[in-house]
Amino acid sequence: MQRSDEELYRLMRKGDQDAFAELYERREPALYRYALHTSGSSIVAEEVAHEVFVQLMGAGARFDERRGSLESYLYGVARNLIRVVRRQGPVEEAIDRAVEHDILGDLITNETMAALHRALREMPDRYRDVVILCDLEERSYEDVARIIGHPIGTVRSRLHRARALLSAKLKWLNAPAEVLSK
């Protein structure tokens, strides 16, 4: 039976390296992707995903099981780290540059994809988080509700609102030139 995140955390606090490694393997990839979508930079995403675990193993880790799940705590740490990076200045937009050479550019214009990345990054945290977790990570509403600490109804309504905002931006970008010139 798979051990819970919280159980692994308790073991790692006692010095169990295998528990720490298991926790890392389980959660680091999704944290990296979350940081990638949020920051728009793979370099920042790597740093953030790494730093989350550095902080977790540190003596100052303030995770408290009574206040929520460890997964929720890890996303919270990642979110704060990204805010710190953003305050320091604009991050390198590695994703957008990669799009320029993407073979899928035949299907969707580079401009549209870059705009979607930008629009996602510029959204308020509460909308962006549900888009990333529900639609990019494909997590269930129940999981996302647990992670962000809000009811399922709130998750669903935020997602619908966020998608409407993104659709509107894409629609504007995809509008024919004559419409835009009016």
Partner 1 sequence: MNCKERIPGIVEYARRRAEPDMELRAHLAACSGCGERWEGERQLTSQFSIMRIRAQAREPMDARRESLMREFARRHKRAPMPVWAWAFSAAAVLLLAAVLGHATHSRVRENPVPAIRTHGVRTQQTILYEASADASALSADDFVALPYALPLAAGELVRVVHADLDPDVLASMGIDVDPSWASEVPADVVVGEDGLPRAVRLADSSQF
User: Which one of the spans 2-10, 61-69, 74-82, 154-162 is the region binding partner 1 (CB under 8 A)?
Assistant: 154-162
User: Which one of the spans 48-56, 71-79, 82-90, 122-130 is the region binding partner 1 (CB under 8 A)?
Assistant: 48-56
Among 112, 114, 120, 116, CA closest to 35 = 120
State the minimum distance, in angstroms, from the CB of residue 102 to partner 1: 8
> How much is the CA Rg of the chain, to the nearest whole Å?
18
Q: Is 75 in the site for partner 1 (CB under 8 A)?
A: no
Find the length of the chain: 182
Helix axes 17-39, 70-87, angle to 10 degrees: 50
Q: In this chain, which of 9, 24, 63, 75 binds partner 1, going by CB under 8 A?
A: 24
Residue 61 carries which side chain, given as an amino acid letter? A
User: What is the distance between the alpha carbons of residues 171 and 48, in angstroms, rounded to a whole number?
Assistant: 33
State the minimum distance, in angstroms, from the CB of residue 143 to partner 1: 15
User: What is the distance between the alpha carbons of residues 79 and 181, in angstroms, rounded to a whole number?
Assistant: 39
Residues that bind partner 1 (CB under 8 A): 12, 15, 17, 20-21, 24, 28-29, 32-33, 36-37, 42, 46, 50, 53-54, 57, 95, 98, 102, 104, 107-108, 112-113, 116-117, 134-136, 138, 156, 159-160, 163-164, 166-168, 170-171, 174
